[in-house]
Amino acid sequence: MKFKQALTVKEVAEILGCPFVGDENHLVLGLNEIHKVEAGDLVFVDHPKYYEKALKCAATTVLIDQEVECPEGKALIISKAPFDDYNKLARHFSPFVPQTANIGENCEIDPTAIIYPNVFIGHNVKIGANAMISAGAVIGNNTTIDENVIVGPNSVIGHFAFYYKKKSTGFDRMHTCGGVHLKKNVEIGALCTIDAGVSATTEIGEGTKIDNQVHIGHDTVIGKNCLMAANVGLAGCVVVEDNVTLWGQVGCASDIVIGAGAIVLAQSGIAKSLAGGKTYFGSPCGDVRLKFKEMAALRRLPELLDKI
């Protein structure tokens, strides 16, 4: 999430009531979680295991729970509870705004778009030419829908990111201030859920077609002309490159890259990144030819045991 105007690290630290390390005029342009940071962003870290990753990432301001050596060109804000203070900033700059009308504030809907009855549209939504939003769909805050996009009945575009911190009192959800971008000619089936980015954008690339009852996690980026059959489930921060096909009930762990042109057969589980241009099967999935050989060998196991 980018701020409407740049702030100094001193100003941000004052909002939190925290000390800071670095030039008081160091600029903070926005905030983001670790997988999506860019230069100018603020990121949080609250465990020594991840200090190095946070301090070396693209973010130029780090909200951290201990004072450490500050890298050149960056600034630190020292917080007793970085997760909570990050959430405080997210709510400060992108507060929750309740809504009672079917269409929220600051929306742009092209006059050629077809909006069926019982559609709910949140704040800061853009819907392009010839888009079709079917009955019962929910279009959440900060969603952009390009021209010729189809959203099926009762699908939810831009629900809260599934991102929690476990505490002694239970699970504390990170405040969602990101959005979703459905690029032109995308089709979304019925009863799908596409979560908003935590503080960035979940993207579905041009020409991609998604079947019914598919889940796409927060901050996932899907390329052009991909095909996803029913019950596919992708966790957050997955990258699916162009022309990938995922058949029914494929599941994918977070922070995975699926290479361009890959095909993953039905009911496969993706635990590690996959190279493009190959066909995969199994859980954990692997090259389809190898997996079929393994299955053939497994079928012979009773016969082999009888010979022992």
d(CA 191, CA 265): 22
Cα separations in angstroms, 25 against 28, 32, 73, 75, 300:
9, 20, 12, 10, 70
d(CA 95, CA 82): 18
Neighbours of 277 (CB within 10 A): 11
Look at residue 164 and give its three-state secondary structure.
strand
Look at residue 91 and give its three-state secondary structure.
helix
Look at residue 30 and give its three-state secondary structure.
strand
d(CA 193, CA 214): 6
**DSSP code per residue over 165-218:** EEETTEEEEPPP--EEEE-TT-EE-TT-EEEPPSSSEEEE-TT-EE-SS-EE-T
Start-to-end Cα distance in the chain? 64
The helix-helix angle for 82-93 and 9-16 (nearest 10°) equals: 110
Cα separations in angstroms, 120 against 123, 130, 131, 140:
10, 18, 15, 8
d(CA 118, CA 141): 17
Q: Are 191 and 212 in contact (CB under 8 A)?
A: yes
Q: Which residue has the tokens 């105007």?
A: 5
Look at residue 115 and give its three-state secondary structure.
strand
Point out the residues that are catalytic.
Answer: 218
